[in-house]
Amino acid sequence: MPARHPTTTPGGRRSAPTAMTRNQNLLDPGFELTLRPMRYPDFYERYRDAIKNTWTVEEVDLHSDVADLAKLSPAEQHLIGRLVAFFATGDSIVANNLVLTLYKHINSPEARLYLSRQLFEEAVHVQFYLTLLDTYLPDPEDRAAAFAAVENIPSIREKAEFCFKWIDSVDRIDRLETRADRRRFLLNLICFAACIEGLFFYGAFAYVYWFRSRGLLHGLATGTNWVFRDETMHMSFAFEVVDTVRKEEPELFDDQLQQEVTDMLREAVAAELQFARDLCGDGLPGMNTDSMRQYLECVADQRLTRLGFAPVYGSENPFSFMELQGVQELTNFFERRPSAYQVAVEGTVDLDEDF
């Protein structure tokens, strides 16, 4: 099938993209440019919905958090320090994969519109976490240590290495020509949706909402509310891409892929559990390594179920403060659109409402 991508003329200059047939699959190589006739209207609607949910870091008031930080025990301060250190680089890793992998290989102008919007949202998240670190860690040396966490904190380095493994797995693939190439791309996409955005960040959100349930760090919770909504929409888009590829190329979704995805999620749970041991130590009131393990297993099962694969853990969510934050509501969320905050909305968002 001819691909729509620039070619090189005898004189060495790049020519315009060549025409391509309109019956290609989503992962066929090329660079489709034409939005009409629209082949994947759902991706376009997701882009439009994301535009409605614009927020800015300036809307988040972190002033009250400074007084709350002084009230925390040394163990709680350690937890917060590790958490913001993870935030310092987590979304940057996701943004890099968007640019280097997803935008490159998902051949749909509608999908690329959404990915462009997602990249903007990841930038807002990075700005939020930068502001968070500047507020929570006024000492420049403490901030520098947080930004160097990938190199210096083993539990964070393990999570970063997990991410880099899946980035590197498709880094040298220019075009998804073979079934093996497309399988590796699917594993990358599923990793970043289900494991990184859908497990690592959801684990981080649980710590934030644990503090909020105790009346602490409301500024952090407010910003996290909006990050949470964005990340859930990112997962929903990625899973819709997976669904589309499953319809177009069902032969890719065999027992081998299911086993690879299951093993991947087990590895992600193990890495996040190591992070939990670092954060929780001997345990805190209402938050400990065992309860976080149950929570992570529950989330992992949700991701596997959404992907059409069998769950493996059978654990229930132990955190009552997370029940309406997206774990038990996640499946229904994919049938809806978040609309609790939109452009120019003021104040905070109450995620205790069903959405």
14: phi then psi, degrees, rounded to nearest 5: -85, 130
Active site residue: 44, 47, 114, 129, which one? Answer: 129
From 150, 246, 228, 227, select the one nearest 189 (Cα to Cα).
246
From 201, 19, 193, select the one nearest 115 (Cα to Cα).
193
Q: Measure CA of the first residue to CA of the last residue in the chain; give whole Å.
A: 43
State the Rg of the chain over Cα: 21
DSSP secondary structure letter of residue 311: -
**Residue 138 is which amino acid?**
P
Residues 6 or more apart whose Cβ sits within 8 Å of residue 8? 14, 15
Residues 6 or more apart whose Cβ sits within 8 Å of residue 60? 128, 131, 219, 222, 223, 226
Active-site residue, 44 included: no
| Inter-residue contact 197 to 94 (CB < 8 Å) | yes
Which residue numbers are catalytic? Answer: 129
